[in-house]
Structure 1
Amino acid sequence: MMPNTTKKTRREMLVSSLLFPLAAVSAMSAASANAQSGAGGKPLVAYFTRSGNTRTIAALLSRDLDGDLFEIEPATPYPADYFATVEQATHERERNFLPPLKASVSNLSSYKTVFLGFPIWGASAPPIVRSFLANQDFSGKTIIPFNLHGGYGLGNSREIIASAAPKANFATGFVMEGLQERRTTELVRNWLTKSDPTR
């Protein structure tokens, strides 16, 4: 019996599901092929996270695509307080400041496909993600973004990352509304104000 050569692998199916818009069928096929031709057939899954939600998606991608995982971290961590982080990121964006990275990908040249995950901050990409893209050469690589947002969509994040890596190819990625840290903080503070559980 002849093997079924049309049967998709789990990796191909996941890549295709991430690149879901029907208008991007040709881009999906290209990304599926590229995702298997990086380091030993592996893509790189690079991500920045604050609350850990993006890490969950990155870990899933890394496991199901047999990809290498890399966490994008600033040399100086963002504040633990959510609102302090928002203020700092706003100042960085207004000054066009690129925060220094804790580490870079040592073997980036061996990957053809990079899944890039980050939360949407202030309807844009976090400054540290711009640092990551500007810090190394992504020429000719296919970057597939995956993002969580708090209800306001992607904003200008796609334009920002495209301008930070102008020689890379960008494929349609994955986006979903995630847990809203601001809303959670406000609800907890409201509860504390009304109930004063320390009494």
Structure 2
Amino acid sequence: MTAGGGHAVSRRAALSTPVAMALIAGSTTACAQETRPVAGPTSNILVAYFTRSGNTRVIANQLKRTLDADLFEILPAEPYPEDYQANVDQARRERDAGFEPPLKAEVQNLAAYDTVYLGFPIWGETAPPVIRSFLRKHDLSGKTVRPFITHGGYGQGSSLSVLARRAPGARILDAFVMEADQERRTINLITEWLGSDAGAEANR
């Protein structure tokens, strides 16, 4: 059990879960899909999520299919930079300033949902600023909230504390926490590769 009540899932254990198997099997097609906000409630379960690289979207789509739930993608009004490092830098500035970016859209008829699955990646050891915006705009009092969290190797950080502060009237259950650090790892590997090329050139 990790701080805040979430279950820390090891890389090996995570890969053996049904959700993780769906992540592996469906990553190519699901990441290419564009999720649109639900037109109206068709279920009493809502899956709301924010993603950058698509890992969280794959989990969200699996939850939608398994639970026959409605799906809502949390989007900032102004998209984050596509460049990974620029995105990291902006998210850090927003976190440090306590900035909450405006949302592109809000959930309609939130009162129709009893349970909300809330998904997001960990940015800067906490929930992304846009998740704080979502929680400020949506009153989850009286609802059951089930977080699902992806991270790049450093765990869930203070994200559950953010949920507890921003949704004090909600019943927050243990989180599904999964390491999914492909983007950061790829950047590091490329940097190392380019560094080795530079060293080889210097030794010629």
- The TM-score with structure 1 as length reference comes to 0.75
Aligned to 2:154: 152
- Asked whether the 8 Å contact 2:132–2:162 carries over to 1, the reply is yes
Aligned to 2:99: 97
- Asked whether the 8 Å contact 1:42–1:65 carries over to 2, the reply is no
Shift of residue 97, structure 1, vs aligned partner:
0.7
In 1, Cα distance between equivalents of 2:170 and 2:78: 27
- The TM-score with structure 2 as length reference comes to 0.74
The counterpart of 1:128, out of the listed 108, 126, 130, is 130
Task: Tell me which amino acid in the other structure corresponds to 1:83.
Answer: Q
Task: Tell me which amino acid in the other structure corresponds to 2:175.
Answer: G
In 2, Cα distance between equivalents of 1:125 and 1:179: 16
Aligned to 2:49: 47
Aligned residues: 161
Aligned to 2:75: 73
**Could you list the per-position Cα deviations for residues 18-51 of structure 1 after superposition, in whole angstroms to 9, with x for gaps in the alignment?**
x979xxxxxxxxxxxxxxxxx5653100000000
In 2, Cα distance between equivalents of 1:135 and 1:40: 21
Instruction: Extract unaligned runs of 5+ from structure 1.
Output: 1-18, 22-38
Q: Which has the larger radius of gyration?
A: 1
- Asked whether the 8 Å contact 2:63–2:69 carries over to 1, the reply is yes
How do 1:14-53 residues align onto structure 2 when only pairs under 5 Å count? 41-53=43-55
Q: Percent identity?
A: 57
Across the aligned residues of Structure 1 and Structure 2, the Cα RMSD in angstroms comes to 1.9
In 2 relative to 1, CA 195–93 (structure 1 residues): closer, same or farther, beyond 3 Å?
same
In 2, Cα distance between equivalents of 1:70 and 1:86: 24
Aligned to 2:163: 161
Alignment of 1:111 with 2:127, yes or no, is no
Shift of residue 104, structure 1, vs aligned partner:
0.3
In 2, Cα distance between equivalents of 1:49 and 1:41: 23
3-state SS in 2 of match to 1:123: coil
3-state SS in 1 of match to 2:51: coil
Aligned to 1:62: 64
